[in-house]
Amino acid sequence: MVFIVILVLLFIDSIREMSKYAGEKVHDSDHGHLDAELQHSMKLFRAQRNFYIAGFALFLCLVIRRLVVLIGSQATLEAQAEASLKQAQGASQHSKQLMDQMSSGSSAQSRDRLNEENEGNKKLEKQETELRKLKEDLALAKEELIRYRVNCDSMKKQAEAVSEEYDRLMVEHDKLQREYNKVTNSAEVKKDK
């Protein structure tokens, strides 16, 4: 990283020098100072040379860094592949040994051990099926809870709507009752006269 930073600084300095000498011209009225023009051209050439060298070195440094990263990852992958191959070979040899022990029947202990392992596997499978069943029951219970909540919400909305309608009808009933009372009171007053 330090080397890359140094290269970047050199690259930026060469750009600065190049722009400095490219913009600067030797102005002479009669172009009599050929030496000054040659000095200026030489400085411009050196600045351009430094620019190309620093730029190319920076580019190559980045390419080399990327190659190192790729080579490192390839080495890691090769080591993992080799370890996997050895593990597969070991598992293959172990399974061959178990097959030989099972076919020869010479060792009752290994059979007992295999039987215990099979029983353990059966228990594990049974527990896994119970777990799946419990998960399904939980999912069904969640769905049912959601349905009950939706039903409860709809009943609440219906109750609110019925309550609002009841209130409206009571107000209308009161109006009609008042009108009825006015009409009956006015009819009684007319009879009394």
pLDDT one-digit tens code per residue, 1-31: 888 889 889 999 999 988 888 876 655 444 5
Task: State both tokens at 100.
Answer: 């030989």
What single letter denotes the amino acid at residue 79? A
Question: Which of 54-63, 71-80, 115-124 is predicted least confidently?
Answer: 115-124
Q: Which residue has the higher pLDDT, 4 or 168?
A: 168
Residues 25 and 41: their CA atoms lie apart, in Å, by 9
Q: Are 14 and 47 in contact (CB under 8 A)?
A: yes
Task: State both tokens at 19.
Answer: 């722009």
Residues 37 and 42: their CA atoms lie apart, in Å, by 8
Q: Are 54 and 3 in contact (CB under 8 A)?
A: no
Instruction: Give yes or no for residue 80 having a pLDDT over 70.
Output: yes
Query: What was the pLDDT predicted at 29?
Result: 46
Query: What was the pLDDT predicted at 107?
Result: 56
Quick one: average pLDDT of 114-134?
87
